[in-house]
């Protein structure tokens, strides 16, 4: 049981710090929060739950599809890049949530990442954030032609697609857990 208390503390800390998690929880309409083991089976469950909810609330088709598409990329990024517990670290549960405010839907994810992967991921996100619609289209086309599927999913074409569909700048942070691992948090807005 000791393990689970470590998990929840370390998983919530970066979120509360960076995205003011509790404030979001209080002020915004949170549609979904999941914390735990991610797999393709679970992804399907979260996707179908969200889809039903959006349909029930008569969310406009294009917006609903954008949220769904971005959600697929975020969830598969988490489930494909799982880090198992080792002697050096207790695995921190990944988090995924969807918030809903007046202007946007907000998709937030938070998961463990090897420190070695940070520079590339950071430079990729900074690159997509620096581009306009046309620049993103060109980068996407280039990445799709050159991209090898063995490449880490999150650092490549997936992030470009998220940026294109969101039409907003991606917000992110890295918080170091130890010399090997950090928590990577990503916040994506989809304007209504």
Partner 1 sequence: MEIIKINATEDTPAVTLDSVNNIYEISGRSLPEDVVVFYQPVMQWLKEFEKTPINDFELSIKLEYFNTASSKLILDILLKLEEVFLNGTRLKVKWYYLASDSDMKEAGEEYSEIVGLPFEITMY
Q: How far apart are the C-alpha atoms of 111 and 178, rounded to whole Å?
A: 14
Residue 189 engages partner 1 in binding (rule: CB under 8 A): no
Q: Which stretch binds partner 1 (CB under 8 A): 10-18, 20-28, 29-37, 159-167?
A: 159-167
Residue 66 engages partner 1 in binding (rule: CB under 8 A): yes
Helix H or strand E segment including 111? strand 104-114
Q: How many CB atoms lie within 10 A of CB 125?
A: 22
Q: How far is the CB of 4 from partner 1 (least distance, A)?
A: 27
Residue 33's nearest CA partner among 121, 116, 141, 107 is 107
Task: Give me the 132-151 binding string for partner 1, x by CB under 8 A, dash otherwise.
Answer: -----x--xx--xx-x-x--
Q: Which stretch binds partner 1 (CB under 8 A): 6-14, 37-45, 98-106, 180-188?
A: 37-45
User: The tokens of 140 are what?
Assistant: 């996407």
Give alpha helix (H) positions in the chain.
Answer: 2-18, 21-27, 40-56, 61-80, 118-130, 133-146, 157-166
By CB under 8 A, how many residues form the interface with partner 1? Answer: 30
Q: How far is the CB of 133 from partner 1 (least distance, A)?
A: 11
Residue 63 engages partner 1 in binding (rule: CB under 8 A): no
The per-residue b/e assignment along 6-15, b for 16 or more CB within 10 angstroms, e otherwise, is ebeebbbbbb
Q: How far is the CB of 10 from partner 1 (least distance, A)?
A: 26
User: The tokens of 176 are what?
Assistant: 């170091």
Residue 157 engages partner 1 in binding (rule: CB under 8 A): yes
Judged by the rule CB under 8 A, the positions of this chain that interact with partner 1 are 40, 43-44, 47-48, 61-62, 65-66, 68-69, 72-73, 76, 79-80, 137, 140-141, 144-145, 147, 149, 153, 156-158, 160-161, 165
């Amino acid at each position: 049981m000791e393990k689970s208390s470590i998990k929840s503390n370390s998983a919530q800390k970066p979120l509360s710090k960076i995205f003011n998690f509790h404030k979001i929880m209080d002020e915004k309409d949170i549609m979904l929060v999941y914390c735990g083991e991610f797999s393709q089976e679970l992804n399907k469950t979260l996707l179908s739950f969200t889809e039903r909810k959006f349909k029930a609330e008569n969310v406009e088709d294009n917006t609903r599809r954008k949220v769904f598409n971005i959600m697929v990329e975020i969830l598969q990024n988490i489930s494909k890049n799982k880090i198992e517990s080792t002697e050096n670290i207790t695995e921190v549960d990944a988090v995924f949530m969807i918030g809903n405010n007046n202007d946007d839907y907000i998709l937030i994810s938070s998961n463990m990442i090897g420190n070695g992967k940070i520079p590339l991921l950071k430079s990729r996100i900074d690159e997509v954030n620096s581009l306009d619609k046309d620049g993103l289209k060109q980068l996407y086309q280039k990445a799709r032609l050159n991209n090898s599927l063995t490449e880490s999913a999150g650092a490549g074409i997936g992030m470009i697609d998220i940026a294109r569909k969101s039409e907003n700048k991606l917000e992110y942070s890295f918080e170091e857990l130890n010399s090997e691992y950090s928590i990577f948090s990503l916040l994506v807005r989809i304007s209504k």
